[in-house]
Amino acid sequence: MGCIPSKKKTIPETTSYVNKVEDLRVLPSTFVQINQRSFLKVYKLGRSLGSGAFGEVRFCTHKKTGARRAVKIFKKDIFTSEADKEKLVKEIEILRILDHPSIVRAYEFFEDTTDFYIVMEHCRGGELFEEIMKKKHFKEEETASIMKQIFSCLAYIHSKHIIHRDLKPENILLDDHADFLNIKLIDFGTATKFTPGSKIKGSLGTAYYIAPEVLIGPYSEKCDMWSAGVITYILLAGYPPFEGTNDEEIIQKVKAGIFTFKGSAWNKVTEFAKDLIRHLLVPEKDRYSAAEALNHPWIRDININNIDNTKLQSTLQNLSLYTSNNKLRDAVNTYIVTQLTNNNDTKEARDIFRALDENGDGKLSREELIKGYVRPGGITEQDVDRIMREVDTDLNGYIDYTEFLKAAIDQQKLASQANLKITFEMFDRDGSGKISAQELKEMLQGENATNSEVWNELIKTVDQNGDGEIDLKEFEDIIISKF
C-alpha cells in the first residue's frame, strides 16, 4: 500500500504523531504534502501565466478531479547553494500553514530530477497591477475594500510571526475579472519568520515599495505596512509617492520619506484616506501596525460584504448542526474543503466569514460569533460555546477559515456523491478499491508516521463488514449518515 520509496528529496516530509484516535487533529496543512508521484502523471500542463528568474508559472488541470490550478515551476539548476534550497523549503513551510480567505491556497508540492513544483490556487482575474494600468486610479470605496483585505492578510501573517517582505500590486491577484475587489496575496518567496520584539536584516523588496529601514539596517514586520501605504497611495492617485528615473533615484526619495498629496487626483480624496497614508509612510516607530490600520475609520467603516440575513441564518444552522466527534468524517470534510472546492463553492461562506471577522485578523473569536449571531437574536451564548467546541478542531481558541468553511457550507452540498467518490479514490492510494490503515496513516500523517494501532482503531469506526479496510459504501455511509 502507499507510495514507492524514492531518493532523498530537497522538500521535506511533514509528519506529526498521535497515540490515540481522540488526539487526532486534521488541519488544512494535513493535505498540503509532498506528492511522491510524477507531476505530469497527476496534472495536465496548460498555458504560461508568467515567468521570472526562478522559472515559470503555468496553468494546470488535475487529471482525476478536473480542478483548475496554477503551478510554480522552479528549475533546479538555479539553486546553486544550500541557502537557495533553504529559501524554497522556507516558502513551502510558510505556504502550508496559511489559511486565510485573501491568501492564495497551496495544494501540494512535487519534486523530480530537474524541477520543483508548487501547486496553488488559480486566480482568473490577473494581477492588481494590471488593473491599476487599466483603471489608472480607483475610487475611495474600492481602494478601502482592497486595502482592508491586504491589512487583514498582514495582521494574520504577522500574528504567525511571518513578514512578507515583497508586498506590491504584482503580488496581489484578483479572484475574477468580474470580481476585482476580492484579492489574493501571493509569492512568499522572500517571506521570513521573525521573533516578536526582535528585528531582522537583509535588504529585500522592490524599489517603489521598499521601506526605508530595510535599506539601512534592521527592521521588523512593519516594513510590510510601509509597502501597504505605498499601494494605498498608488490605488488612489494612479502613481507612486516616490518616483524617479531609476531605482537609485527612487531609493534616495524613499530614504528621505517626503511625499505630497498634490495633483488633481487628490482633489476629491477625503482627509480620512490621507490620514491613513500619513500613518503608514512614516518612520517605523510611528507607523501603524496591521491591527491599527484595520481599526482606522476609513478602513473600519467600509463594508466589504453586504450579507443577506437569510444566508446568515442558513450558515448559523449549518454551524449549529456540525459535529466533529467522528475523526474520519472531519478529515473527509477538511479534504473536500481544502482540495476540491473552488471560489464559487466557497464564495457565500467566505463573505459571511469576512463579515463576522470584525477586527479583520483572519479568524473568528467567541466574541465575534456572539456579536454576529446572539445579539441579532439568533442563538444563545451557550449555543456559541457549543459551536466553538465542535468547530475549533485545532483547539486554538478561534474558528479558523477552513474550520468555518467545512462547518458553514451545507453538508449535503459539500459531501456530494461526486466529491465523496473523488475523495475515496484519493485516500485509496494504491487503487485497490479499499482504504487500508496504512493508507489512512499516509494520507493523514505522512509516510513516516508511526503507531499503526491508531489507524486500525479509526478503521473500526467505519468498517461495517469487519474486513479491516474501508470500501466505498462504508466510506459514503459514515458521511451521509450524518444527514
Rg (CA), the chain: 23
DSSP letter, residue 280:
T
Q: If DSSP states are collapsed to H, E and C, what string results for 456-479? A: HHHHHCCCCCCCCCEEHHHHHHHH
Q: If DSSP states are collapsed to H, E and C, what string results for 368-427? A: HHHHHHHCCCCCCHHHHHHHHHHHCCCCCCCECHHHHHHHHCCHHHHCCHHHHHHHHHHH
Residue type, 27: L
Chain-centroid distance, C-alpha 85: 23
24 close to 31: Cβ distance less than 8 angstroms: no
Has 255 been labeled as part of a binding site? no
CA dist., res. 186 & res. 170, Å (int): 9
Is residue 410 part of the annotated active site? The answer reads: no
Q: Which residues contact 381 (CB under 8 A, 6 or more apart)?
A: 370, 374
74 close to 54: Cβ distance less than 8 angstroms: yes
Of 99, 166, 187, 224, which is the active-site residue? 166
- What residues form the annotated binding site for ATP? 72
Which residues belong to the annotated binding site? 72
Catalytic center residues: 166
